[in-house]
Structure 1
Amino acid sequence: MVLFLKEDNEIYAYNKRLKKEDIEKYQDAIWYEGDFDFLDGKDKEGYAKLYRWNGEKPILEYIPTPEPEPTIDEKIYEAVIKSQDEIRQEGADMVMEEMKKRGLIV
């Protein structure tokens, strides 16, 4: 089987049909006598699987998955909610200040 590697030895593809003598055309290809599939290994919540070539065989590493980027709708919603909270607080502050001036609260 043929494994295709990035510069940092990350396996990004494989081909089970190419013959060993045909991989000379590909600079990023290596021959591996074993079996490999990206479905190998258990999934871990919060982590992505990363396969690397260690010189002898593929090894599985787990890397933390980045937090998903909020959508534009989520960003707008958060800004609107935040603005409403700020407006409410400003209103409450003005009412409290007026009540203090009138001596209704200390």
Structure 2
Amino acid sequence: MVLFVNSNDSSIYATNYLVSKEGIKKYPDAIWYDGDFSFEQGEEKEGYTKIYKWDGEKPIIEYIPTPEPELSQLDRIEEQLGKSQDEIRQEGADMVMEELVKRGLIV
């Protein structure tokens, strides 16, 4: 079987059972592996993402923390629209007070 390995970080990004051992010569990122491999191997861990890597002899699994998704612009706008008028007024007052303290007008 052929494993396609990213040369930058040794991650396995594809497999192929149809390409022969001789046929991989035209693929610079292809490695022949005599064992069995599938992307379904390894257990799922909550909060982690599985990364399959080539260690030079065999495929290994690394688990990296799943990053928190960033809010989209629409989500941030909806969050602001959901605030009450009192919250908005208080945020404005806090910003004015902070600026007055910075300028030394209020201690």
Matches within 5 A, 1:24-103: 24-82=25-83, 84=85, 85-87=87-89, 89=90
Runs of 4+ in 1 over 2 A off after TM superposition: 80-84
Taking only aligned residues, the RMSD between alpha carbons, in angstroms, comes to 1.6
Number of matched residues?
89
Gaps of 5+ in 1: 91-106
| Percent of aligned pairs with the same amino acid | 58
Largest Rg, 1 or 2 = 1
Counterpart residue number, 2:2: 2
Structure 1 residues 74-99: Cα deviation after superposition (integer angstroms, max 9, x where no partner): 11111223463122x48xxxxxxxxx
The DSSP-based 3-state class of the residue aligned with 2:22 is helix
In 1: Cα distance, 2:13 partner to 2:84 partner: 45
The alignment's TM-score, normalised by the length of structure 2, stands at 0.76
Give the structure with the larger helix fraction: 1
The alignment's TM-score, normalised by the length of structure 1, stands at 0.76
